[in-house]
Each structure stands twice: as C-alpha cells, then as structure tokens.
C-alpha cells in the first residue's frame, strides 16, 4: 500500500507550525522552566510514532460496523440464532439485508459438555469479560444500548437481530477516522503459523480525537459444518488480540488533528488439522479475513477495517 505522505514524515508544514508555535510560547513564558517545553504545550508529541498529514489529506471515509455473536457447539439455541445472521453475510445470495459495510463475526466459547474445537484462549476471554454464563449473546459496535436494545440477552427469536442490523443503515455513514490494513506487510508464515497484521490509523479531521484502542482479528471466512448439526457456522474467529508485537496494548492516548500512527500485531493460528471436526483446506491462510477494530474509551466502536484474502 502506498502512503505518499510518509515522504515528509518529520518535516511536514504542519509539524513545523506546531514546533514554531511551541517555541514562540516558550519565549513568552521564559520565566517558567519545564523538563521538556515541547511536551508541555503539545502532549501528543510524547508519542514519537505519530506522524502528521498535509492539510489536503483531510477527508471523510466510510464508517463500517461490526456485529459480534457468541455461540458454542454445546449451545442448543446457537445454531438457530447464528442461522438468522446468514442474510447479512452472503452477497452472492442477493439478500436485501446484506450490507458490505457490516462485519459479522461469530466467536465460539466453552459451553456445556460438547467439545468445541474453535474455542481459543482469546475468544473465551472476550466472552468472559463481557457476558454471564448464557448463550447466545451478541453486540453491535461494542454496545447495543445506543440502538435501543438491552446490553445483553438480545432476543434473536423476536426480531432484534434485524432491528440492530437495520439501524446500521441509518447511522452517519462517514467518519474522519480512517483505518488502513497494509496488505503487503500482513503476511502468514506457514512454518511458524504466525499471522502478522500491519495497519495504520489516521485522524483525517482538523480537530483532535480522544483516546482510542485497537483490536485485530483473524476470521475464518469459509463455512465450517459441524456433524451434529446441519446448520453451518459461517464465520468463525480463529484468534484476536489487542496487543502489538512488543506486547503493549495498541492505543492512542490522544489523536491530534491530521495525524496517523502505524501498529504491527501478530498471533499464532491454531493448527486446523488438529481440530475435530477438521475444517476445509487446513491451514490455508487464504481462508481468513483480517479485521481491525477501533473503539473509544467507552468501548464503543468508531470504525472497522477488513481485508479478505482471495481463496485459493
């Protein structure tokens, strides 16, 4: 992916204006002493990995949404509940409910006595942090409350899935928070089974944003059928992480105007041939989609980016 603004990473016109403004302020307040005068006037400069954009790079982008469902092979109701999501994830069926700007993700978690090969430590932890011991559960953009539906226990059998999905169409379709997955640098090593994901977050507005945190997912994007149930689980999360390659949480403490920051994360995909039942095309990275989620301090999703490999 080409990022032409990287050519002037440290010496953009905006960067010079920020430095000049801080220097002028220090001359006026020369009677005060700070350990780092630049940090005193622009704390965002504390993050040396932020880089600034040209004024011409201010523009809105499409806002995407993420619907996250939690289920299990041991859950009697989950197969039916997840089947209700199929019209939203199959463009080839010409479904009127399909929305290309909506990501639907199904996490599998431990439940009952039936073993579920698609449960991982990370997907289980995400369920444990957000819900009680009941399934199915779901959430849209991190919280259902803004959409007029209770936080937990969405009544899939009373049309509330449809209500949540419909409301994504009437949200503001644009945002200045831009997420870009670097497809060239997001690679899978079949020897180590490590998936690397590199992405950049841009604030394309002329005003600053509050703190943001980021999460990365590798999602199975081909149907997986379970022999004990005729209904397929169409999208299965393989792994998810909120930490970069150094083990630090992926966050932006404050997002200055016209600025950007790049993150690199990785995780190990579970060997699929060890799962029972085995999925199609074991260990084929092209069976996966990569998803990046940006959320604010309340946990409400601000935007989503995705990249799907072309199946072999």
Note whether 143 and 122 are within 8 A (CB): no
Residue 72, pLDDT score: 86
User: How far does CA 85 lie from the centroid of its chain?
Assistant: 19
- Pick from 55-59, 210-214, 224-228: least confident: 224-228
Residue 224 confidence class, pLDDT cut points 50, 70, 90: low
Rounded CA separation 245/294 (Å): 18
| pLDDT tens-place string over residues 81-118 | 888 887 887 766 677 778 888 888 888 888 877 777 77
Mean model confidence pLDDT for the chain: 77
Phi-psi label, residue 171: left if phi above 0, alpha if psi -120 to 50, beta otherwise: beta
State both tokens at 195.
């998936």
Q: Which residue has the higher pLDDT, 115 or 232?
A: 115
Strand ranges for 234-273 from DSSP E: 236-241, 251-252, 259-268
| pLDDT tens-place string over residues 148-167 | 898 888 999 999 999 998 88
| pLDDT tens-place string over residues 185-209 | 988 887 788 889 999 999 999 999 9
Q: Walk me through the domains of the chain, giving residue ranges and CATH numbers.
A: 4-47 (no CATH), 64-167 (3.40.30), 174-308 (2.60.40.10)
Residue 251 confidence class, pLDDT cut points 50, 70, 90: very high
Residue 282, pLDDT score: 43
Rounded CA separation 137/140 (Å): 11
For 95-159, give the secondary structure using H, E and C. CCCCCCCEEEEEEECCCCCCCCCCCCHHHHHHHHHHCCCCCCEEEECCCCHHHCCCCCCCCHHHC
Q: Which residue has the higher pLDDT, 20 or 227?
A: 227
Rounded CA separation 270/124 (Å): 14
Residue 220, pLDDT score: 74
- Pairing status of strand 224-226 against strand 188-189: unpaired
Note whether 53 and 202 are within 8 A (CB): yes
The whole-number average pLDDT for the span 123-127 is 86
Residue 254, pLDDT score: 87
Residue 44, pLDDT score: 47
């Amino acid at each position: 992916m080409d990022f032409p603004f990287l050519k002037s990473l440290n010496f953009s016109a905006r960067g010079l204006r920020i430095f000049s403004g801080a220097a002028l302020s220090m001359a006026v307040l020369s009677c005060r002493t700070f350990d780092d005068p630049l940090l005193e006037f622009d704390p965002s400069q504390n993050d040396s990995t932020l880089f600034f954009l040209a004024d011409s790079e201010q523009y809105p982008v499409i806002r995407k949404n993420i619907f996250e469902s939690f289920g299990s092979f041991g859950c009697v109701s989950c197969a039916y509940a997840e089947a209700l999501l199929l019209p939203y994830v199959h463009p080839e069926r010409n479904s009127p409910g399909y929305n290309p700007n909506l990501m639907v993700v199904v996490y599998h978690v431990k439940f009952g006595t039936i073993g579920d090969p698609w449960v991982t430590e990370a997907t289980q932890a995400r369920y444990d942090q957000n819900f009680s011991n009941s399934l199915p559960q779901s959430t849209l953009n991190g919280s259902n409350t803004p959409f007029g539906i209770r936080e937990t226990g969405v009544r899939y059998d009373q049309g509330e899935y449809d209500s949540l999905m419909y409301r994504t169409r009437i949200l503001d379709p644009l945002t200045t928070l831009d997420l870009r997955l670097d497809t060239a640098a997001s690679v899978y090593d079949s020897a180590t089974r490590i998936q690397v994901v590199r992405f950049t977050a841009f604030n394309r507005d002329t005003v600053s944003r509050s703190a943001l945190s980021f999460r990365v997912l590798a999602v199975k994007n081909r149907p997986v059928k379970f022999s004990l149930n005729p209904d397929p689980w169409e999208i299965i999360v393989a792994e998810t992480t909120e930490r970069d390659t150094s083990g630090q949480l992926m966050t932006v403490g404050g997002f200055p105007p016209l600025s950007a920051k790049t993150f690199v994360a990785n995780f190990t995909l579970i060997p699929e041939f060890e799962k029972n039942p085995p999925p199609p095309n074991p260990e084929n990275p092209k069976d996966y989609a990569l998803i990046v989620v940006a959320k604010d301090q309340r946990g409400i999703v601000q935007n989503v980016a995705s990249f799907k490999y072309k199946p072999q």
